[in-house]
């Protein structure tokens, strides 16, 4: 099967800055793919390279097998949903959705019919006559989605589209986006710096750092088996254990990752330390203890609340200790 998007040694330089540095990437057709990383890691530049808003300094970009490295944005089968939605405030919701079709020269009746079809798809079929200012943040997000989808792109690019929403609405929109992608079956490429979004929504994801991909795989693979200290530290919460401590816990003398939820109180265990902090999280307690000069965090049930200054012994399954690459 021809990939939806393919990067072959793609770089994008801005003067001496290598925003994207020799990236190789393959995104399968119909995938929900996330690009995850901190600010300045290169993920948004990669999205702009796919859309055509940036051109590569070197390398090749293919969309469904066609070389689009120097193709204008409007000639690519992609559309973008931006974080700020970029809706026209003076237009109705219906006209916003139909705008791209109007630019293409489609007749009024036909483009309005398609706009209403898209509004129904995002559960806004009765909102066509409203202005964007009359909508909630989540509703404006859906209008932006409908406007992007009405042009029938083969790849939909989403540039941190949930960043402006509050927590409850963001979580609801995560479910809606994933459900919509499954129904449509088109390729979604989603840029975010939020690890929980990437882990919960994506079929596969790439973790970016310093213009390169640090690791690529399924959310479960990246969370359970981070290749580097950067990935372990950035994706979720992890205890990064130096070689000496890893060896004392039964592993080789190399850096390892041990997730807080893998640790459990025990009468006897390989980790014994002094509790230095306790944070109540509602569903549980996050306990911090010090052992062998190292700080260790454990996620315990809400009923387990050791006192600060007390001694705590923890155990874990041998498979929970994940040894990483040296990088």
Q: Read off the pLDDT of residues 233-292 as tens digits, 9 standing for 90 and up.
A: 999 889 999 999 999 999 999 999 999 999 999 888 899 999 999 999 988 999 999 998
Whole-number Cα distances in Å, 179 to 45, 122, 176, 213: 27, 10, 5, 27
Backbone angles phi, psi at 199, to 5 degrees: -70, -35
Tens-digit pLDDT profile for the chain (327 aa)?
Answer: 899 999 999 999 999 999 999 999 999 999 999 999 998 999 999 999 999 999 999 999 999 999 999 999 988 989 988 877 788 899 999 999 999 889 888 899 999 999 998 898 888 888 989 999 998 888 888 888 888 888 889 999 998 877 766 777 777 778 888 888 888 889 999 998 888 889 989 999 999 999 999 999 999 999 999 999 999 999 988 999 999 999 999 999 999 999 999 999 988 889 999 999 999 998 899 999 999 889 999 999 988 889 999 999 999 999 999 999 865
Rounded CA gap, 273 and 276, in Å? 9
> For strand 78-81 and strand 155-159, is the pairing parallel, antiparallel, or unpaired?
parallel
What pTM does this model have? Answer: 0.87
Domains by residue range for the chain, with CATH: 5-231 (3.40.50.300), 237-323 (2.40.50.140)
Instruction: List pLDDT tens digits, range 13-50.
Output: 999 999 999 999 999 999 999 999 998 999 999 999 99
Whole-number Cα distances in Å, 240 to 193, 229, 295: 21, 7, 9
Backbone angles phi, psi at 308, to 5 degrees: -65, 130
Rounded CA gap, 66 and 9, in Å? 16
Rounded CA gap, 202 and 19, in Å? 24
Q: Which long-range contacts (CB under 8 A, 24 or more apart) does 299-306 make?
A: 299/260, 299/261, 299/263, 300/263, 300/264, 300/265, 304/265, 305/278, 305/280, 306/265, 306/275, 306/278
Residue 229 CA, chain-centre distance (Å), reads: 19
Q: State the number of CA atoms in the 13 A half-sphere of 194 facing the CB.
A: 17
């Amino acid at each position: 099967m021809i990939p939806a998007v393919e990067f072959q040694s793609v770089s994008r330089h801005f003067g001496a800055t290598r925003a994207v540095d020799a990236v190789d990437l393959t995104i399968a057709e119909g995938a929900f793919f996330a690009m995850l990383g901190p600010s300045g890691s290169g993920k948004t530049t990669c999205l702009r390279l796919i859309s055509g808003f940036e051109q590569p300094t070197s390398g090749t970009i293919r969309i469904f097998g066609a070389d689009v490295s120097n193709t204008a944005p409007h000639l690519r089968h992609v559309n973008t949903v931006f974080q700020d939605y970029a809706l026209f405030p003076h237009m109705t919701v219906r006209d916003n959705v139909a705008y791209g079709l109007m630019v293409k020269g489609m007749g009024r009746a036909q483009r309005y019919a398609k706009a209403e079809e898209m509004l129904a798809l995002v559960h806004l079929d009765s909102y066509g006559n409203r202005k964007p200012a009359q909508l909630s943040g989540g509703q404006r997000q859906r209008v932006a989605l409908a406007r992007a989808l009405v042009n029938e792109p083969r790849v939909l690019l989403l540039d941190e589209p949930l960043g402006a929403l509050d927590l409850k609405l963001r979580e609801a929109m995560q479910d809606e986006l994933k459900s919509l992608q499954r129904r449509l079956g088109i390729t979604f490429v989603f840029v975010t710096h939020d690890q929980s979004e990437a882990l919960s929504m994506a079929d596969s994801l790439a973790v970016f750092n310093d213009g390169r991909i640090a690791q690529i795989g399924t959310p479960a693979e990246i969370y359970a088996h981070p290749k580097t200290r950067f990935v372990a530290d950035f994706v979720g919460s992890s205890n990064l254990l130096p070689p000496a401590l890893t060896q004392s816990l039964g592993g080789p003398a190399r850096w390892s990752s041990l997730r807080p939820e893998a640790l459990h109180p025990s009468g006897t265990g390989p980790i014994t330390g002094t509790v230095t902090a306790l944070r109540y999280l509602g569903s549980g307690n996050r306990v911090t203890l010090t052992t062998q000069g190292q700080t260790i965090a454990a996620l315990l049930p809400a009923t387990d609340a050791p006192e600060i200054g007390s001694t705590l012994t923890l155990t874990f399954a041998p498979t929970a200790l994940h040894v990483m690459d040296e990088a």
